[in-house]
Amino acid sequence: MHEPAEAALGQPGTSRRGFLKGVGAGLTGLAFSGPLLSACAGGSSGGGSGSGGGGSTTTLKIGFVSPRTGAVAAFAEADPYVLGLVRKALASGLVVGGKSYAVEIIDKDGQSDSVRSAQVTNDLIYADGVDLVLTTSTPETVNPVADACEAAQMPCISTNTPWEAWYFGRGAKPGGPSPFKFTYHYSFGVADFARSFTTLWPQVETNQRVGVMWPNDADGNAVRQSLKPLLKEAGYTIIDPGPYADGTNDYSAQIAQFKDENCEIFNTFPIPPDFATFWQQAAQLEYRPRIAQIAKTGKFLSQVEALGPIGVGIASTVYWTPTWPYSSPLLKMSARQLGDGYTEVSGKLWNQSLGTTLSLFEVATAALKASADPKDKAAVVKAVSTLETDTSIGHLAWGTGPVPNVVTTPIIGGQWVKAPASSPFGLDFVICENANDHNVPVAAKLQRYGA
């Protein structure tokens, strides 16, 4: 019932625009508001060609967990689009070791909540019987999913969470052996943030005094432990009022301290609602740093637009944009085609999670193929532990550090600016440094916030 992936992705007689519109037709209405639980391959929804004389096809089930709703839902805004592309690409199945497998993708919403994320992961493992779990976007989702998989001896691959928050936040000890045998991760780390910040910030003249708001959560604790000494070593003075609880609604004391200490640079790693509250209070109390460096939130147009005029000029970081110089080995699409296709179907500006979510399935298919037997969990884990593969966000190679189970990926700095008059969007993100990946093109110089 489904055309082969090769035909869908540009063989004679089928244009790429037609492919995108075909995917888009299945991503309207309910698809953009809830999980896509039906599979485009396997069972009654269509599978690969039969294997063996009987014509039956074994189905590989891949579970996928992301925060589709809740405080960090912007990270998963593009998931329906990516899942549609991947399901179409895998509609003809996957051949491993000469055997054909249908592929079923079962996606779940972790609701930006650690308890819920663990619950839906257990559903995937014990009720749905998946063979592999993929997860992405912030420790609130990724860590409980990985923990549930580790406890169940289920292979799990994750991304888009600082690796220190994933590794040490789950109980690993610095210098000690890895306690994880079934869970693997690839993402940027604190050193990558430090390299980006210390390349970006000198583009604006400041007194190098940095006021920081680092929360009492997995991200904040990892950043406080590792980023602070790196910034101090680079010559910055850090003014840290101390950890605050997620959900705090009064930041007047911290703002007063930043003003008293003349902090011309501000840095934070908050959940989106907390930053919106802080930044509105900072504007009311007339705290206006020369550089406002935001991480975890401020990565997506919807978050920045919600701030109104005080969102313009915020500096942030990206792990993928349509200018990335890498193509998808699964979809045979360039970064530009991926971003433009999303805009065409959704009417929205590109979302940087397009690249990372897609890369999970690129890693997964590479690992399943390398395993020789994708139904053998030990074989899949072994394949991931030494996997080397190209993805939409770049080349990945496990076994090269910085710690077992982890591969680091780049984070790139830039700024939200007013979009040109020709753009249908009010804001655009411009890349201002590329210290972590010199292949990514730089488009502009960082401008002073409020200039």
pLDDT at residue 159, rounded to an integer? 98
Whether residues 339 and 205 share a domain: the answer is no
pLDDT at residue 400, rounded to an integer? 87
Whether residues 113 and 242 share a domain: the answer is no
CA–chain centroid gap for 288, Å, is: 29
Alpha-carbon span 14 to 9, nearest angstrom: 8
Average pLDDT of the chain? Answer: 89
Tell me the percentage of the chain whose pLDDT exceeds 90: 83
Tell me the percentage of the chain whose pLDDT exceeds 70: 87
Would you say residue 326 lies in a domain?
yes
Q: Phi first, then psi: what are they for 96, rounded to 5°? A: -130, 125
Whether residues 74 and 176 share a domain: the answer is yes
Task: Match 């929205």 to its residue by tokens.
Answer: 348
Whether residues 41 and 121 share a domain: the answer is yes
pLDDT band of residue 57 (cuts 50, 70, 90) is low
Other C-beta atoms within 10 Å of 34: how many? Answer: 13
pLDDT band of residue 12 (cuts 50, 70, 90) is very low
pLDDT at residue 269, rounded to an integer? 93
Given a cut of 80, whether residue 150 has pLDDT beyond it is: yes
Whether residues 71 and 164 share a domain: the answer is yes
CB-CB contact of 69 with 109 (8 Å): yes
Whether residues 230 and 302 share a domain: the answer is yes
pLDDT at residue 5, rounded to an integer? 33
Other C-beta atoms within 10 Å of 207: how many? Answer: 13
Would you say residue 222 lies in a domain?
yes
Q: Phi first, then psi: what are they for 51, rounded to 5°? A: -115, 140
Instruction: Tell me the pTM.
Output: 0.85
Whether residues 424 and 389 share a domain: the answer is no
Whether residues 134 and 43 share a domain: the answer is yes
Would you say residue 444 lies in a domain?
no
Given a cut of 90, whether residue 24 has pLDDT beyond it is: no
Find the mean pLDDT for residues 325-350: 97
Given a cut of 70, whether residue 403 has pLDDT beyond it is: yes
Would you say residue 383 lies in a domain?
yes
Find the mean pLDDT for residues 1-30: 37
Identify the domain containing residue 204 by its residue range. 191-318+412-431
Looking at residue 323, its amino acid is T
Would you say residue 384 lies in a domain?
yes
Would you say residue 313 lies in a domain?
yes
pLDDT at residue 229, rounded to an integer? 95
Would you say residue 447 lies in a domain?
no
Whether residues 280 and 328 share a domain: the answer is no
Given a cut of 80, whether residue 447 has pLDDT beyond it is: yes
Residue 27: strand, helix, or coil: coil
Whether residues 212 and 249 share a domain: the answer is yes
Q: Which two tokens stand for residue 309?
A: 């005029």
Which helix (DSSP H) or strand (DSSP E) does residue 18 occupy? helix 16-25
CA proximity to 338, closest of 76, 67, 85? 85
Given a cut of 50, whether residue 2 has pLDDT beyond it is: no
Between these two residues, 110 and 3, which has the higher pLDDT value?
110
Would you say residue 177 lies in a domain?
yes
Whether residues 328 and 389 share a domain: the answer is yes
Whether residues 236 and 350 share a domain: the answer is no
| Most confident range, picked from 33-37, 51-55, 168-172 | 168-172
pLDDT at residue 118, rounded to an integer? 98
Domain count within the chain:
2
CB-CB contact of 406 with 183 (8 Å): no
Which domain CATH number covers 379?
Answer: 3.40.50.2300
